[in-house]
A and B are shown apart, each in its own frame.
Chain A
């Protein structure tokens, strides 16, 4: 079955460490996204990619980096510059980059900074 796979599901990090969250999709979708979800807040867009080898900053990109070397993969690195990284991170994809397109989400990665 097609879908989005995120790993790891749970991750603990010490302050000052960079961590990379994996996101792989086999839906043949062009667009991919990373969102962050905190309690009591809506999903906030970190980065998005409309097509391979292209990506754009979302609303809260500071302290994060991404790459899109393959259509299927859109990893997110949470750097030590991110001041409050503890959150639930969700990767999503859509057939094309358009507000009218439905997002398919991965199961999420829950990052805790100790």
Chain B
């Protein structure tokens, strides 16, 4: 079983829509989680860290559900510029190694 699993998509949504991605993790001891954004043929860039209490940054909200072992990313009022692949990342506690999901592809349509 992969440490971190994501639905690869693609998610095709109209401009202005709200879209949510989930990501499940297998190691219940994992402590740190992140969402990175990766544009086509570019490097990943940090979008948000995910805190236990949930956190919001403008149109983006990240949440952690430890009981069900998943994290989520909610994007409100989607913009064309949100089109990208979103990578879920979790740590492997004790090894200080981060595990990357395969990414969820989002396309926002005009």
* Chain A residues engaging chain B, CB cutoff 8 angstroms: 35, 40-43, 45, 48, 58, 88, 90, 97-100, 102-108, 110
- Quote the shortest CB–CB distance from B23 to chain A (angstroms): 11
B96-A99 in contact (CB<8A): yes
Which of the segments B11-19, B61-69, B87-95 contacts the partner chain?
B87-95
Alpha-carbon distance A79/B99, docked complex (angstroms): 25
Nearest A-chain residue to B6, judged by Cβ = A42
* Chain B residues engaging chain A, CB cutoff 8 angstroms: 2, 4, 8, 31-32, 34, 41-46, 49, 87, 91-93, 95-103
B98-A103 in contact (CB<8A): yes
Nearest B-chain residue to A4, judged by Cβ = B43
A100-B91 in contact (CB<8A): yes
- Quote the shortest CB–CB distance from A58 to chain B (angstroms): 7
A97-B44 in contact (CB<8A): no
B43-A90 in contact (CB<8A): yes
A58-B97 in contact (CB<8A): yes
Contact A42 B91, CB 8 Å, known A99-B31, A105-B43: no
Please indicate the chain A residues that have their CB under 8 angstroms from the CB of B101 in the complex. Answer: 42
B96-A41 in contact (CB<8A): no
